[in-house]
């Protein structure tokens, strides 16, 4: 016997739309795949950095697009248009400052995310590809910082880029080509600005979107590594789904980061120096804070001269990155507990201490120069 | 039973981070209200605030005895006061989890409150000692490393190398002392936790049941209410934020300072109308007076012309005096 549907089973307009889309794209399957991912050992605050990075990138894209409505990427208008954004556009100063502090937050979160993966031993088999793509993403984030720094076209931007490109020039074989390609002339000028702008707003975002998609895909294919301690029974007992606990932690993390960036933008807004000129005057060129350790390293006498500069600026960081890339293939021990991997633990502490030490030394050196 | 250091680290590390998202929200709100200033010692203030389960009582002691300037703004004291209920909750949740999952013990009633109180008291006693010892070690190592580079043999060392080596020397010494002192403090907190654990009864139920118990401690009783309240607070804060945010930069660059604009006097339509009416009446009276005077002069002229025409017709070309203005 056929039953007539009661009023309670009738679909609302929204449900009808969802059913329509679901029928065509399998919305419910996607939703189930996205939210019902098991998290071995349960949700943790340590896992929030990946989601936070994605959130920061989206916010950087939004603020970057809004800034592009006013920014003019030409040598004679870049500085003036940036000043216009800061002084004339409604909330322009806040957008620019958010974008600036967002880039810093992105670097901090990349370091935190990479440290978490390294300490958790989450780069080990079967997650080698996730680690490799993550390293490429790290390079892209650094590239964003380097190319974005030039765009305001003030003295700080101009001279940091000049130093950066000169360092790049020291690379054997491709260094000269890379430096000439980025500069587009004898000294940084219109061509440099145009190329940095294109790299910053076209090439790097496209590369980041593609690689971030691949990173997430590989992560979902291999599944989360879970905690490095505990018996399989304990981990199984604590295993939870991605929704709702991990999502809740991710959202809290995102809100915290959002308001922290807002606070920094509010209390420490971007203030430009004088317009870029080929004469540094009293200004001591300096890169962004996350490159300061490398900058200070190059001040050491052992890294003086052509070869020394190449060694300090390209060979050492290059070798370090190569070591990181080869890490999952060198370290094949399945042990993930960081307290049972003394070399990895000591290595991480030494690298972090070196970065901190050279960064602080650069700040002290700055005071000495001033 | 794990060692006191392990117990202390287990509870303190998680407690600090559990309460952190709530505490940082309050801190940002206070900064927005101007109760706390964004100052140069923000790093130290952040660490003290993060470790508020230990530093809550130590903070005023340090401010009185060792370091009067730990943060700017009257809100600092209020901030640490508001931290207390958050820290009690966080200590309770973390300690109960440790008792159930790691120690398989039944947590006592009011465990969070009693542990927080003891931890904060230990912090109040230990933090000033840590402050003095680490401060002394840092100052001594700085002066020693400075003195080392004043010697003839090391005077020729280039600046960058000198800064790096000095920093490594005093930073290494001071960090080692700090770590040793912190481990000592953590072990004291661990002993407090161990004494509480020794009086606890074994927990009943299998591992899965224990995990479910501590997991449910983190779930609010009324999730709908919690979500609604959070959304409303978020909305109010967002509106406050956007209404309080200046449209143009509060830090204008030298090149782009806006010229000072003098405010135009307030326009009062009734007053202006009355004033205009008076003015018009005055002008009308003046015009009337002029016209009257002109008419009188005309009349006088005509009279004079009539008389002169009869007596002296040759004087007709004599200059005529202009009439006096009113």
* A129-149 pLDDT, tens digit each: 999 999 999 999 999 999 999
Question: Which CATH number does the domain housing residue A258 bear?
Answer: 1.20.810.10
Q: Which of A258, A285, A260, A254 is nearest to A188 (CA)?
A: A285
Q: How many separate domains does chain A show?
A: 1
- Is the pLDDT assigned to residue B263 strictly greater than 80? no
What pTM value is reported for the model?
A: 0.83
The per-residue pLDDT of chain B, averaged, comes to 87
Interface of A with B (CB under 8 A): 42, 45, 83, 86-88, 90-94, 233-234, 237-238, 240, 245, 252-253, 255-256, 259-260, 262-263, 266-269, 271-272, 296, 299-301, 357-358, 360-361, 364-365, 368
Contacts of B28 in chain A (CB under 8 A): 259-260, 262-263
Over residues A203-207, the mean pLDDT reads 97
- In a domain, residue A249? The reply is yes
- Is the pLDDT assigned to residue A27 strictly greater than 50? yes
Which of A87, A98, A275 to mutate to probe the B interface, most B CBs <10 Å? Answer: A87
Chain-chain contact of B159 with A365 (C-beta, under 8 angstroms): yes
Q: Do B117 and B57 sit in the same domain of this protein?
A: yes
Give the model's confidence band at A210: pLDDT under 50 very low, under 70 low, under 90 confident, else very high: very high
Over residues A174-195, the mean pLDDT reads 89
Over residues B2-15, the mean pLDDT reads 95
Whether residue B276 lies within 8 A of chain A, CB to CB, comes out as: no
Contacts of A237 in chain B (CB under 8 A): 207-208, 211
Residue B318 is predicted with a pLDDT of 47
Residue A321 is predicted with a pLDDT of 95
Q: Do B154 and B290 sit in the same domain of this protein?
A: no
Cis peptide before A244 (omega within 30 of 0): yes
Contacts of B241 in chain A (CB under 8 A): 262
- Is the pLDDT assigned to residue B317 strictly greater than 50? no
Q: Which domain covers residue B206, as residue numbers?
A: 4-224
Span A319-340, pLDDT tens digits: 999 999 999 999 999 999 999 9
Give the model's confidence band at B72: pLDDT under 50 very low, under 70 low, under 90 confident, else very high: low
- In a domain, residue A270? The reply is yes
By CA distance, what is B161's nearest residue in A?
A300
Residue B53 is predicted with a pLDDT of 93
State the CB neighbour count (10 A cutoff) for residue B291.
10
Chain-chain contact of A300 with B163 (C-beta, under 8 angstroms): no
- Is the pLDDT assigned to residue B322 strictly greater than 60? no
- In a domain, residue B260? The reply is no
Number of A–B residue contacts, CB under 8 Å? 94
Say what the alpha-carbon torsion angle A193, A298, B173, B42 is, to the nearest 10 degrees.
-10
**Among candidates B159, B160, B253 on the partner chain, residue whose Cβ is nearest the Cβ of A271:** B253
Distance to chain A for B285, nearest Cα, Å: 53
Residue B29 is predicted with a pLDDT of 83
Chain-chain contact of A83 with B253 (C-beta, under 8 angstroms): yes
- In a domain, residue B263? The reply is no
Give the model's confidence band at B71: pLDDT under 50 very low, under 70 low, under 90 confident, else very high: low
Residue A173 is predicted with a pLDDT of 83
Q: Do B19 and B132 sit in the same domain of this protein?
A: yes
Span B121-148, pLDDT tens digits: 999 999 999 999 999 999 999 999 999 9
Distance in angstroms (rounded) separating the CA atoms of residues A354 and B2: 33
**What ipTM was assigned to the predicted interfaces of this complex?**
0.82
Highest mean pLDDT among A96-110, A269-283, A303-317, B234-248: A96-110
Q: Do B35 and B148 sit in the same domain of this protein?
A: yes
Q: Do B205 and B277 sit in the same domain of this protein?
A: no
- Is the pLDDT assigned to residue B326 strictly greater than 70? no
Contacts of A266 in chain B (CB under 8 A): 32, 245
Higher pLDDT, A225 or B258: A225
Work out whether strand A38-39 and strand A240-241 pair parallel, antiparallel, or are unpaired: antiparallel
Over residues A90-112, the mean pLDDT reads 96
Span B142-170, pLDDT tens digits: 999 999 988 888 888 999 999 999 999 99
With a pLDDT cut of 70, the percent of chain B lying above it is 90
- Is the pLDDT assigned to residue B311 strictly greater than 60? no
Residue A138 is predicted with a pLDDT of 97
Contact A303, A312 (CB under 8 A): yes
Q: Which domain covers residue A207, as residue numbers?
A: 38-223+230-281
Distance in angstroms (rounded) separating the CA atoms of residues A132 and A322: 10
DSSP-derived letter for residue B40 is T
Over residues A179-190, the mean pLDDT reads 88
Span A260-291, pLDDT tens digits: 899 889 888 998 988 998 887 778 888 889 98
- Residue B48's Cβ-count burial label (10 Å; 0-12, 13-18, 19+) is buried
Distance to chain A for B282, nearest Cα, Å: 48
- In a domain, residue A296? The reply is no
Span A242-265, pLDDT tens digits: 988 899 999 999 998 998 899 889
By CA distance, what is B246's nearest residue in A?
A91
SS (H, E, C) A65-134: HHHHCCCCCCCCCHHHHHHHHHHCCCCHHHHHHHHHHHHHHHHHHHHHHHHHHHHHCCCCCCCHHHHHHH
Higher pLDDT, B240 or A193: A193
Which of B248, B254, B257 to mutate to probe the A interface, most A CBs <10 Å? Answer: B248
Q: Which residues 120-149 on chain B approach chain A with CB closer than 8 angstroms?
A: none
- In a domain, residue A290? The reply is no
Q: Copy the structure tokens of residue A181.
A: 């390609």
Q: Do B165 and B18 sit in the same domain of this protein?
A: yes
The per-residue pLDDT of chain A, averaged, comes to 91
- In a domain, residue A5? The reply is no
The values of phi and psi at residue B219, to 5°, are -100, 125
Distance in angstroms (rounded) separating the CA atoms of residues A320 and A317: 5
Chain-chain contact of A86 with B163 (C-beta, under 8 angstroms): no
Residues 6 or more apart in contact with residue A108 via CB below 8 angstroms: none
Whether residue B33 lies within 8 A of chain A, CB to CB, comes out as: no
**Among candidates A45, A83, A357 on the partner chain, residue whose Cβ is nearest the Cβ of B171:** A357
Contacts of B90 in chain A (CB under 8 A): none
With a pLDDT cut of 90, the percent of chain A lying above it is 68
- In a domain, residue B173? The reply is yes
Contacts of A358 in chain B (CB under 8 A): 164
Q: How many separate domains does chain B show?
A: 2
- In a domain, residue A305? The reply is no
- In a domain, residue B21? The reply is yes
Distance to chain B for A199, nearest Cα, Å: 28
Give the model's confidence band at B308: pLDDT under 50 very low, under 70 low, under 90 confident, else very high: low
- In a domain, residue B248? The reply is no
Q: Do B202 and B279 sit in the same domain of this protein?
A: no
Q: Do B219 and B283 sit in the same domain of this protein?
A: no
Contacts of B253 in chain A (CB under 8 A): 83, 86-87, 271-272
- In a domain, residue B278? The reply is yes
Residue A8 is predicted with a pLDDT of 56
Distance in angstroms (rounded) separating the CA atoms of residues A52 and B207: 32
- In a domain, residue A175? The reply is yes
Over residues A60-81, the mean pLDDT reads 96
- In a domain, residue B292? The reply is yes
- In a domain, residue A130? The reply is yes
Residue B325 is predicted with a pLDDT of 45
């Amino acid at each position: 016997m056929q039953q007539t549907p009661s009023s309670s089973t009738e679909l609302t307009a929204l449900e009808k739309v969802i059913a329509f889309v679901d029928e065509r794209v399998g919305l419910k399957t996607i939703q189930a795949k996205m939210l019902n991912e098991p998290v071995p050992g349960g949700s943790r605050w340590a896992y929030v950095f990946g989601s936070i990075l994605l959130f920061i990138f989206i916010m950087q894209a939004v603020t970057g697009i809004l800034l592009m409505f006013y920014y003019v990427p030409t040598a004679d208008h870049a500085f003036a248009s940036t000043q216009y954004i800061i002084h004339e556009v409604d909330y322009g100063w806040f957008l620019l400052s958010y974008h600036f502090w967002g880039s810093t937050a992105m670097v901090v979160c990349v370091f935190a995310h990479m440290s978490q993966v390294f300490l958790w031993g989450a780069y080990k088999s079967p997650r080698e590809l996730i680690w490799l793509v993550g390293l490429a993403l790290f390079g892209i984030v650094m590239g964003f910082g380097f190319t974005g720094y030039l765009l305001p076209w003030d003295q700080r931007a101009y001279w940091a880029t000049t130093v950066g490109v000169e360092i790049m020039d020291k690379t054997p074989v491709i260094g000269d080509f890379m430096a000439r390609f980025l500069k587009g002339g004898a000294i940084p000028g219109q061509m440099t600005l145009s190329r940095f702008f294109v790299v910053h707003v076209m090439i790097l975002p496209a590369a980041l979107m593609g690689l971030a998609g691949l990173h997430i895909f590989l992560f979902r294919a291999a599944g989360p590594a879970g905690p490095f301690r505990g018996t399989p029974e304990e981990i199984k007992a604590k295993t939870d789904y991605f929704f709702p606990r991990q999502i809740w932690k991710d959202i809290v993390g995102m809100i915290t980061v959002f308001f922290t960036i807002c606070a920094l933008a509010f209390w420490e807004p971007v203030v430009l120096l004088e317009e870029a000129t080929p004469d540094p005057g009293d200004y001591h060129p300096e890169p962004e804070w996350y490159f300061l350790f490398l900058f200070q390293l190059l001040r050491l006498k052992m890294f003086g001269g052509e070869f020394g500069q190449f060694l300090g600026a390209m060979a050492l960081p290059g070798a370090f990155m190569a070591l990181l890339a080869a890490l999952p293939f060198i370290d094949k021990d399945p042990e993930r507990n960081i307290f049972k991997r003394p070399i990895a633990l000591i290595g991480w502490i030494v690298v972090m201490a070196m970065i901190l030490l050279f960064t602080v030394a650069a700040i002290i050196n700055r005071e000495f120069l001033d | 039973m794990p060692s006191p250091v392990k117990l202390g680290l287990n509870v303190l590390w998680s407690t600090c981070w559990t309460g952190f998202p709530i505490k940082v929200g309050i801190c940002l709100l206070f900064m927005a209200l101007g109760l706390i200033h964004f100052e140069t010692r923000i790093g130290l203030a952040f660490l003290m605030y993060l470790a508020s389960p230990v530093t809550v009582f130590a903070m005023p002691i340090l401010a009185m005895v060792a370091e009067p300037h730990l943060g700017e703004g009257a809100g600092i004291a209020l901030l640490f006061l508001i931290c207390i209920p958050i820290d009690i909750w966080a200590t309770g949740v973390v300690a109960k989890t440790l008792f159930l999952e790691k120690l398989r013990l039944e947590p006592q009633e009011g465990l969070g409150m009693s542990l927080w109180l003891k931890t904060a008291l230990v912090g109040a006693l230990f933090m000033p000692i840590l402050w003095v010892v680490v401060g002394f070690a840092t100052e001594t190592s700085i002066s020693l490393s400075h003195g080392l580079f004043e010697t003839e043999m090391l005077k020729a060392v280039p600046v960058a190398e000198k800064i790096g080596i000095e920093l490594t020397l005093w930073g290494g010494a001071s960090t080692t002392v700090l770590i040793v002192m912190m481990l000592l403090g953590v072990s004291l907190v661990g002993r407090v936790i161990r004494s509480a654990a020794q009086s606890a009864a074994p927990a009943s139920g299998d591992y899965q049941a224990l995990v479910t118990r501590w997991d449910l401690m983190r779930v609010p009783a009324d999730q709908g209410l919690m979500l609604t309240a959070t959304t409303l607070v978020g909305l109010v804060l967002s509106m406050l934020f956007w209404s309080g945010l200046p449209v143009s930069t509060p830090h204008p660059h030298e090149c782009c300072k806006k010229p000072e604009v003098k405010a135009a006097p307030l326009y009062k339509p009734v007053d202006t109308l009355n004033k205009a009416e008076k003015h018009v009446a005055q002008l009308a009276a003046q015009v009337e007076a002029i016209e009257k005077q002109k008419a009188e002069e005309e009349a006088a002229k005509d009279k004079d012309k009539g008389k002169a025409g009869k007596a002296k017709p040759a004087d007709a070309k004599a200059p005529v005096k202009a009439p006096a203005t009113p």
